[in-house]
Amino acid sequence: MRPILLIPGIGDSGPGHWQSLWENNMRYAKRVQMPNWDFPHRSDWVEALDTAIREASEVMPPLLVAHSLGCIAVAHWAQRYQRPVHGALLVAPVDVERRDAMPVMKDFAPIPLFGLPFPSHVVASSNDPYTTLKRSQELADAWDSLFTDLGPRGHINTAAGYGEWPRGEVFLQDLN
């Protein structure tokens, strides 16, 4: 079975978050442990992600499942490294370039805008408080990603009512 690496955003994903539930329920899913969940630094996160991808690749190229700031970390990683990745599900990417972006996320600006060297799928919401739907579509276009608008679903996290997320599992299977 292909390794699945879960890359949460700032603050990590709590126990009821769909990423945490996937980690508990999917045998080959593993969370990437970032050096500092609350005060992220781009270089530290990219290096932690690279270590996890390198280790997972000993079995076979992994699938990446990123949420929020984790999506931006994946783009920075892809810009810096060329290790094999099978694909990436990028859910609710944040716009770290917005004027009102959280100051602790500013280190991730500018967002890399280039075609990712692996299949990817951006899933976004029309009322995400951390980005606009238009910006999510721009990121998907720049990354050469498939794009899905879920409609008004907030940040696609626990606060937005997402625990189990069967449709997300379908998106993941489509990449596998």
Determine what percent of the chain is predicted with pLDDT higher than 70.
100
Tokens standing for residue 150: 């879920």
Asked if pLDDT for residue 64 goes beyond 90, the answer is yes
Please, are residues 121 and 146 in contact by the beta-carbon 8 Å criterion?
A: yes
Distant-in-sequence, close-in-space partners of 139: CB < 8 Å, separation ≥ 6: 71, 75, 93, 111, 113, 122, 145
| Host domain of residue 28 | 4-175
pTM of the model: 0.97
Please, are residues 5 and 52 in contact by the beta-carbon 8 Å criterion?
A: yes
For the domain that residue 50 is a member of, what is the CATH number? Answer: 3.40.50.1820
Please, are residues 126 and 161 in contact by the beta-carbon 8 Å criterion?
A: no
Number of domains in the chain: 1
* pLDDT tens digits along 125-134: 999 999 999 9
Asked if pLDDT for residue 158 goes beyond 90, the answer is no
* pLDDT tens digits along 70-109: 999 999 999 999 899 999 999 999 999 999 999 999 999 9
Burial of 74 (0-12, 13-18, 19+ CB in 10 A): buried
State residue 30's pLDDT score: 97
State residue 176's pLDDT score: 82
Asked if pLDDT for residue 160 goes beyond 90, the answer is no
